A and B are shown apart, each in its own frame.
Chain A
Amino acid sequence: MKPAHPPNPAQRPDRPGRRALMQHGLGALAALGLPAGAPAAQADARPAPAGLRLDRSAAARWLGFCTFGPTEEEIEAVQRIGPAAWLDQQLDAPPSRSVTEWIDRKGPPGREDARQSPHFDTRLQAIDWKCIWAPDAVRQRVSYALSQIFVISEVGADRIANPYAYAHFWDLLNAGATGNFRQLIEDVSASLDMAYFLTYLNNRKADEATGRQPDENYARELMQLFTIGLWELEEDGSQRLDAAGRPIPTYGQQDIVELARVFTGFYSDGPRRDGVRLAFGTENHGLYGPAAWARRLSVKADEHAPEPTSALKGRIRIPAGTEAYTALRRTLDALFKHPSCPPFIALNLIRRLSTSNPSPAYVRRVVAAFKDNGQGQRGDMKAVLRAVFLDPELFDPPSDRPFGRMTEPYVSTIALARQLGAHCDAEQQRFAGLWHHKRFASQRPFTAPTVFNFNQPDFAPQGPIQQAGLVAPELQNCDEYGATLRFNGVGALCEGLPMTPELLERLATPAHDAELLDRYALQLCGKTLPARDRTALLAELAKLPRGRDATAARTQRLTVLASMVWFITVHPENIVRQ
């Protein structure tokens, strides 16, 4: 057994074992099947101990946070070995076929299609495949969360239709999800995709003659959105305050001017043609193959700013004439070691994965794991994810704040595909294409309107949520228009549910409706519908015709099935994973 968690800093050493259990909410875990007499010392060190067992419904609920929605096999596995061991297996799972390789080899392992010629859609298919079928399910779900932090987007005036665009970026998020955060920000910063999106590709040093200055774009967004945020943070995620009680900005305009110099001189060393290397530009990106796209940025030394750089209250000091990658690494080192980085990233990951409104103690525990994985290593994402997913707050939510988050449309979309096979060609492991994603209004990866993602992590809608000082980022996409897109989009998804011979038979009369409904609700959401709504739905379903001849039977029974699954999915208690 690995020490997944460092000792909890909030934990007082003199607390007696039983009180520590209650403190961690493990008292209620007994109801979920925690073996009696779990050693208290172990619970102290590790909020969700290896011995923790979950029943079927609790396993499905918990998996709803760390996957796109669990398969039957995953639910059984978590019941069998417990969440901690299952998560360890997932975090150590060998990487599934990369998006780049998927495009290159024209399909998933064993299902390559030599006739397929790669195009814009292929990358989309490959990412969907990974989210639906790849065995490293947690890595994919976390990558979707990371794609909403390290945002790049194909939306905009100069979108790139090359199939390999953004492919390598998903792959590097995959690597970062179970790697080290420091390496992740370097991979992101050295990637052609990010350099193109945030415009530091071919960014040049200042030039006296023309008055040209370096592009400031990446220097700003790297700090504001990817590493430390706008305000200095305490380790519980709250804003640090100065002596006068005011929040403290992490950086100012002069820091941006200084750090813009670091991101100069980088270009993409493209493929060779007629013996000449082609540097990336919009006119030749069509020639870029997988290797060129995945290659880290190259440096033109004479375009890198030679001036010394000093920023962030002295945290960054780069002498004159420092080489570009050395300057980049020093900058990333400083941001990585910045006290605001752990809480900024912890809070963002928690909000994208488990709950919009974590307690300060939960944030603190994830921060502790970020700072030290128990072996003195900072930024170990496996330790961070164990802290995120195995926190006691997941198993026994505190009563003083609402635990949970609204699922994104892409999560619902992939859930119905991987759990029930909606719109899937199960044989060939292919999912619906671009046009369907539009019907599902799916917020698929890399389609945010700007680097500020689909929504902002501190969004609170007008009304009770804002008045209570809570946030609900995903509700930014759920105004009346967004609500209807969801309402309709889930319907479009349910049209594609596969009808098996077994289902066809069971749906012939309403006799099995209740059993099917409960089974789906349990698998999709970890709980059955509220009793009153369940009864009302069953009454509606009982009114539906089931078809006499074979053709009518198929359509009409699909209506029963689709209605059931649609109702479960759009139900307010379920659209929020809680």
Chain B
Amino acid sequence: MKPLLPADSAAAPAHRRLMVIYLGGGLDCHQLLSPRRGANRQAYEAARAGLALPDHPRSALDADWQLHPQLPALHRQWTRGRLGVVLNVGPLLRPTDAVQYRERSALLPVQLFSHSDQNELWQAGAPLAEVEGGTGWIGRLMEALHPQFNARALLTPMLSASGPQRAFRAQALRQVGLGKDGAEPRFPGYRVAPGVVTLAQSIMSRVPDGRAHFAHPIADEYARAQRRAQETVEVINEAIRAVPLATPFPVLPELRTAARLFKADTALGRRRSASFFVHGGYDHHRNLNPTLDGRLQELDAGLAAFFDALAELRIEDEVLTLVYSEFGRCLVQNGSGTDHGWGGHALLIGGGLRGGLYGRSPDLGRKGPDLVDARGLLLPSTATEQLHAEIARWMGLPEARLPEVLPLVPRFPRLALDWA
């Protein structure tokens, strides 16, 4: 692979880390960001009788929009100019308007509005058929950045606290799965003799990467997972132990682990890295407001601790946090909740981003350019590729190589986030 930049280039920042927080289930974008005045406020109240959040000036972003009131720590990031909101972003194949949608004259991603499919669309970072080998956008990005930034790394740049993620799939690089406090220590209890444990480990370590070893490919793959778990457990946990952290984490210890591992990048020889965490429970077909309050309180407390930890570790500007969900929810309510939508709002925090609203402010009018279908789904005005491309640029991917990571990028205008 050709190097991206001359090795001694001063243009490449020493460290860049991406924290991805995926809110599983479809966060209600209209509660995350609710309109404060004008036609949008009227449309919001009309569609959401009994559910519309009242005006809450302390959570205001500007005269038109307010953040959910249960997100005070995120709002502090806004006040500090570190929170960017990317408005109405979602999977698209090309820029599409409401007329094209209604006339079915534009090609659309398949199986929209399904949890599993929109999650795959977000994470694959391109229509599934166009992505080679089932890879994901961060996997392709990390593979492109690898020779320049991570060639001597002792550990993969992609760690997931929430099981295997499509976004992290690559050709050669692999993601590694963690528990909430780091790599799970390997200890089958006091009744299994250590010599037998060692023997089992050695048998599973015999399976080579590319070739079959046992009688079944699933057995091979299971053994490889055991082997990788064995090989990485101490590397990871020693790296974590080497980073003392005073900031308390009352909730979401996964973010504590991620912060410490980001700090350990120097010791691990990683200059570009990413962590993934799924915060689930956002599929609020029923009981939207009380349940969402609970989820967002926990998220906000976790984010507050995470940002404090990054400040304590002095890596605030080297860590960019992306918070997104597979879809927003429709504007029209169903009694006490809301149903699946399409576009939603994504949040970017830190990493030197200048805070602000990015993308196009949605018009919540039922006959306007942004809402489609009977239930009022947000037709995305920004494609996931546009958002991901900005993150890839921030990570140091040169413009010329964007299409190999995000094949659809040339079809869309640049989102042009503002960096300090």
Contact = CB atoms under 8 A, between A and B. Distances in A.
A543 to B, nearest CB: 6
A394 B188 CA distance: 33
B203 interface: yes
A244 interface: no
Given A479-B160, A540-B195, A491 B189 contact: yes
A216 B192 contact: no
Given A480-B176, A484-B186, A572-B207, A217 B218 contact: no
Given A462-B134, A466-B133, A475-B218, A449 B195 contact: no
A53 interface: no
A171 B199 CA distance: 43
B217 A481 contact: no
B284 to A, nearest CB: 9
A462 B25 CA distance: 24
B11 interface: no
B242 interface: no
B177 to A, nearest CB: 3
Interface string A473-511: 011111111111101101110110000000000000000
B179 A481 contact: yes
B289 interface: no
B178 A481 contact: yes
B188 A558 contact: no
A563 interface: yes
Contacts of A495: 189-191
B291 to A, nearest CB: 5
B219 interface: yes
Interface in A200-214: 202-204, 210-214
Interface string B165-184: 00001100011111100011
B294 interface: yes
Interface string B103-134: 00000001111111100000000000000011
Contact of B217 (A468, A484, A575): A468
A148 to B, nearest CB: 15
Interface stretch (B42-50, B81-89, B264-272): B42-50
B24 interface: yes
B193 A540 contact: yes
A110 to B, nearest CB: 32
A465 B221 contact: yes
A199 B291 CA distance: 13
Interface stretch (A128-136, A289-297, A401-409): A401-409
B281 interface: yes
B6 interface: no
Contacts of B62: none
Interface stretch (B224-232, B316-324, B348-356): B224-232
B164 interface: yes
B219 A217 contact: no
Contacts of A566: 188, 192, 196, 200
A559 interface: yes
A199 B177 contact: no
A481 B189 contact: no
Given A483-B226, A485-B184, A488-B186, A449 B280 contact: yes
B283 interface: yes
Contact of A203 (B24, B200, B228, B335): B335
Contacts of A468: 217
B346 interface: no
Contacts of A203: 334-335
A137 B177 CA distance: 35
A253 B188 contact: no
B203 A571 contact: yes
A481 B339 contact: no
A533 interface: yes
A257 interface: yes
A566 B340 CA distance: 45
Contacts of B69: none
Contacts of B110: 247, 249
B357 interface: no
Given A482-B163, A494-B191, A465 B217 contact: yes
Contacts of A563: 191-193, 196
Contacts of B114: 220, 224, 230
Contacts of B294: 157
Given A220-B114, A563-B193, A356 B188 contact: no
B233 interface: yes
B286 interface: yes
Nearest to A533: B203
A465 B164 CA distance: 15
B412 interface: no
Contacts of A216: 285, 334, 339-340, 375
Contacts of A459: 164
A202 to B, nearest CB: 8
A488 to B, nearest CB: 5
A248 B49 CA distance: 38
Given A216-B340, A488-B188, A495-B190, 20 more contacts: A211-B46, A211-B49, A257-B374, A257-B375, A356-B218, A404-B218, A450-B24, A463-B221, A475-B225, A478-B221, A480-B229, A480-B232, A484-B183, A484-B184, A484-B229, A559-B192, A562-B189, A572-B219, A573-B219, A576-B218
Interface of B: 24-25, 46-50, 110-117, 133-134, 160, 163-164, 169-170, 174-179, 183-193, 195-196, 199-200, 203-204, 207, 209-210, 212, 214-226, 228-229, 232-233, 280-281, 283, 285-287, 291, 294-295, 332-335, 337, 339-340, 373-375
16 contacts: A156-B281, A212-B333, A212-B335, A215-B285, A215-B335, A216-B285, A402-B216, A405-B218, A406-B218, A465-B217, A476-B164, A479-B160, A480-B233, A495-B189, A558-B191, A566-B192
Interface of A: 156-158, 198-199, 202-204, 210-217, 220, 224, 230, 247, 249, 253, 256-257, 260, 356, 402, 404-406, 449-450, 452, 456, 459-468, 470, 472, 474-485, 487-488, 490-492, 494-495, 533, 536-537, 540-541, 543-544, 558-560, 562-563, 566-567, 570-573, 575-576, 578
